[in-house]
Structure 1
């Protein structure tokens, strides 16, 4: 044991001895002053503590000081009743502090006791009880948060241990404070009881043993009892206040003085209102200006000084911010931020600013949110945040769309016009500025507000400029959705499935396939506009066939076949035959013979002349379907579907290529044409 441990143990043993052995008055005076000093020290420490758990020894101090004070009460009561005196300190409190008036002393003691017992102690007890309950209830949630941060790699093992230790200390502290407040309450009750014993016992002992008269005995022992009570209640009041401060302190970066100065004096203008109110009290009430003007002047002067001090702080803060920005620009590391590329960017000329400015009625930001929701429902992917900015290098009414920093589409709109698309039969009465619809490349007209109703009555499809931009942006996202799906997004999608199907994900990743392999399969599906929203079914298929092949092209074909119902509903209209262009036997044989197998996978090796004949035959059939108003669709056997798609994609990327296994058996198929070589 160290020296400090011996001192503490000696102090506690001395307290116990004080309860039994009589104490001379000089020593009692010395210990009473020590008691007041300890109580004042505890109060100041409580006020300067940032976090209540930093003063974790406070409950033990509260117990020891309470016992110490009660031991002093016992010693002083013994001296009062035995010798009708209790030292200079108690005599000073009984005569000097209360002016030698026993009635005044009794009232002052009663008021201090009521304040301590009814206000501070009772409130502190309730706050400590609620804080202890909340601290214990919050422990499981805090522990889970620490485990989650540790598993995510946000914190280290050492930091996790420190946070767990702090949570344990907080719960133990508030639990101890819940019990320690009972000491304060009991001490207040004991003080009242000892005061009554001193008065009644002293009155009787004074008349019987010390041969005093009733008046002399009452005066002597009342003053001593009141002095003893005040000497005890002042430290008790200090400790009760410290207890209230500790249990009501919220965690902050500063102590109580800093918080009061920052928060109470944070609004200097309010002090002017207070000063004016105090001044009006002197004008309209009998209080008088002589008493209110000094206070109002002090408040107004304080508000003036605070405002002057805040102005340099604001200027220095702005200067420091600018200096920090300049330092960041000068630093070598600032170049790294320039390497960041946004997945999707939408840039527009200054003439289209009203589209994105909500103050001018623009709703482009709201439409972007709806686009992301629509793509999540239709494609099953979470579209990254779309960066929207103006670009003075563009024409006023021009906009461009970029994917990973590269421009993939552009358009030009007129904000004060409407885009009208013909139904196929032109109407000479509908006049406007000829243009091309940017999303699908259809001929259209920009018409004014006066021509809008006439165009709608003529069967034209009329849309406003924000809808034109939103439609174009949606189609671009659908077309390049496979490029937006990176490994991080793929992991997020897989983690979402893990919540409902953990066994599936654990079986597939990483034992059968890596996240990169799954990403490749999903990208191939999105490239052909196949929604991956039914991700559990896709992962089930990959888990079934992944152990037998690592070819992502082949795994994609299996995944497409497992999504046959989804694909059928996407292309076929219920109750109507599905009209398709079929690949003839000669074409299928030619493609099958041209497939080359390598260690890296299979690829199509076909000569340019044969490719051109295939394109010519396919173009003829596609144009025939387009002329009849039907959506072109190529149907072939499962064995060559992906190779025919590779061939068609070069010239006609929008034409879907399906296999027989990707359609439901109950779908009626009607062949409109056959592509042969």
Structure 2
């Protein structure tokens, strides 16, 4: 029943508003509707303050339209009563009497000031902010979509999470577009209020003198009070709605409501409070200045600043005490020592201030790494070893290090409380300039509270966990050959034997040992060729091993057996981007490859994307090509 009522509430309300434009309304019922209008605007304003992000109040544009139509309906109903009966209820008369205060001129000036504030300052500003917000949101939309696709391809998020994030990006664009249009209704409502004010005043004076026989001053006094009262009961809700519009379009995504966020951020600037308090006391010393207000405000600001300082000092001392507290060393067993000296295949070392990345939250580092292992396993054809994460007091602040088999393979920074912004217009944002660790893009670590502002400039915003996991994904892919152990090959072989026993029985151990098969698979992984189709690889190795067990020939045979698999993920539509090199350079490179006896150095040489693996890389190629480019093809 409640669900049915909620579905019918808005349509019935709109029909009722239309009836206001046609049917005369009793004075008592008009008072009720005016009170409801004021309270509705107040509820919407307070709701806009308590939401954490604009999309939490996505129905606001529609409510803004309905509320504007409601106010216009009330204007028509009140105008009918003012001009017809010279009376429009107690609320309108009370507002008019309080504002006029016995002097029509003063009351009119006060009312005009309110109208100017409403129309020129609040409404115009909210309209401009909504327009700019819609423009920047649409400009940032492609970057956000690309970031979602990149996270999905890197295994940082699941398909369901990607769909949810795409839906959120689309909803955000729709919301700001709707707000851009709805803000025009706010402006039109303010203009209509001014026109109705003039009509009520002029028409009321004319009707009072011509039809009711009032003297001009009596007619002016009567209808001025009613007109000002009517203007106030519509302009005050309109002002509240305009302020709510400005707040909702300037609200950035945050973890708390506006009041909590403002309190926390102001508390971080206790020096500003202290300086403001001293300035207030200094103003009190100026001759002629009222001393009590400035002294009270200055003392209050200084008191709050000192309280913030005391709480920060106490928190720092508590943290130091926890850090210096001695920890009882448990008796170490030989097994404990063995586990400590054992080299971890993949390890992430975190500086002490980055331990929050593994606190156990739903999107923490370890949870994202589990998704990465699944993604890399599906792409490369084997399950990478578990990732061990621990803190290291030897690392500088904000630093993490990724190790492969105990050797550092990469490091980066992920300062707490910040997000990484990538784009071209980052100069206006506060933060620390940096370099994205995977693609070498220029970026900046900005405070998390500025994430929405960074997106509005068209920048792509990446959280700290995504930065670390993307870096880890790149390093794991580049070192996949080192991570493929003999035990992994045995497990994979047993799995293939269940489905294709003949492919395994004929090859191992009759023609090749498990170690030789491992070497071949490592050669393929070194070239980033996936080994998912092991049955086909083993069949090709069986045919080649009967002729020769040379590792290079075995890798070449396996690669050819896979057909287009090595290149398919680099194809752009129906085109594979390659670079053709001069035949003389081709021969020199090939001879160098043969001399070094590197694995699988055939006509497909990865010079562009892996310069260190190419023995004759004299070409000046960028570290990361903008377009997908798979290989250098030599004429042979």
TM range (shorter): 0.5 to 0.7
Q: Kindly report the root-mean-square deviation, in angstroms, between the aligned alpha carbons of the 2 structures.
A: 4.7
State whether residues 487 and 519 of structure 1, in contact with CA within 8 Å, keep that contact through their aligned partners in structure 2: no
Instruction: Work out the CA distance in 2 between the residues paired with 1:205 and 1:12.
Output: 32
Structure ID, larger Rg: 1
Deviation readout 1:491-527 (Å, 9 max, x if unpaired): xxxxxxxxxxxxxxxxxxxxxxxxx9898369899xx
Q: How does 1:173-322 map to 2 (within 5 A)?
A: 173-317=175-319
Residue 207 of structure 1 and its aligned partner are, at CA, apart by 0.4
Residue 78 of structure 1 and its aligned partner are, at CA, apart by 0.8
Deviation readout 1:50-92 (Å, 9 max, x if unpaired): 0100101101110111111111111111111111111110111
SS at match of 1:117: helix
2:544 to 524, 543, 549: 549
Would the alpha carbon gap of residues 129 and 524 (structure 1) be closer, same or farther in structure 2, given more than 3 Å must change? closer
Instruction: Work out the CA distance in 2 between the residues paired with 1:251 and 1:146.
Output: 18
SS at match of 2:230: helix
- 1:487 is matched with 481
State whether residues 43 and 242 of structure 1, in contact with CA within 8 Å, keep that contact through their aligned partners in structure 2: yes
State whether residues 152 and 158 of structure 2, in contact with CA within 8 Å, keep that contact through their aligned partners in structure 1: yes
Instruction: Work out the CA distance in 2 between the residues paired with 1:390 and 1:254.
Output: 32
Would the alpha carbon gap of residues 230 and 167 (structure 1) be closer, same or farther in structure 2, given more than 3 Å must change? same
Instruction: Work out the CA distance in 2 between the residues paired with 1:326 and 1:250.
Output: 46
Instruction: Work out the CA distance in 2 between the residues paired with 1:225 and 1:336.
Output: 88
Instruction: Work out the CA distance in 1 between the residues paired with 2:201 and 2:124.
Output: 26
- 1:664 is matched with none
- 2:55 is matched with 53
- 2:165 is matched with 163
Deviation readout 1:333-369 (Å, 9 max, x if unpaired): x999847637899xxxxxxxxxxxxxxxxxxxxxxxx
Would the alpha carbon gap of residues 83 and 533 (structure 1) be closer, same or farther in structure 2, given more than 3 Å must change? closer
Would the alpha carbon gap of residues 571 and 198 (structure 1) be closer, same or farther in structure 2, given more than 3 Å must change? closer
- 2:575 is matched with none
SS at match of 1:241: helix
Instruction: Work out the CA distance in 2 between the residues paired with 1:212 and 1:235.
Output: 32
Instruction: Work out the CA distance in 2 between the residues paired with 1:209 and 1:488.
Output: 99
Instruction: Work out the CA distance in 2 between the residues paired with 1:148 and 1:534.
Output: 18
Would the alpha carbon gap of residues 14 and 558 (structure 1) be closer, same or farther in structure 2, given more than 3 Å must change? closer
Residue 273 of structure 1 and its aligned partner are, at CA, apart by 1.0
Instruction: Work out the CA distance in 2 between the residues paired with 1:68 and 1:208.
Output: 32
Instruction: Work out the CA distance in 2 between the residues paired with 1:287 and 1:23.
Output: 53
State whether residues 195 and 226 of structure 1, in contact with CA within 8 Å, keep that contact through their aligned partners in structure 2: yes
**Higher RCO (CA < 8 A, seq sep 6+):** 2
Deviation readout 1:429-468 (Å, 9 max, x if unpaired): xxxxxxxxxxxxxxxxxxxxxxxxxxxxxxxxxxxxxxxx
Q: Where do 5+ consecutive residues of structure 2 fail to align?
A: 348-391, 395-402, 408-477, 485-514, 530-536, 557-584, 597-636
Instruction: Work out the CA distance in 1 between the residues paired with 2:59 and 2:106.
Output: 38
Residue 266 of structure 1 and its aligned partner are, at CA, apart by 1.4
SS at match of 2:101: coil
Residue 310 of structure 1 and its aligned partner are, at CA, apart by 2.5
Q: How does 1:152-551 map to 2 (within 5 A)?
A: 152-317=154-319, 338=340, 341=343, 486-487=480-481, 520=519, 549=544
Would the alpha carbon gap of residues 268 and 217 (structure 1) be closer, same or farther in structure 2, given more than 3 Å must change? same
1:148 to 147, 150, 163: 150
- 1:493 is matched with none
Instruction: Work out the CA distance in 2 between the residues paired with 1:317 and 1:87.
Output: 64
Instruction: Work out the CA distance in 2 between the residues paired with 1:79 and 1:141.
Output: 56
Residue 134 of structure 1 and its aligned partner are, at CA, apart by 2.2
Residue 153 of structure 1 and its aligned partner are, at CA, apart by 2.5
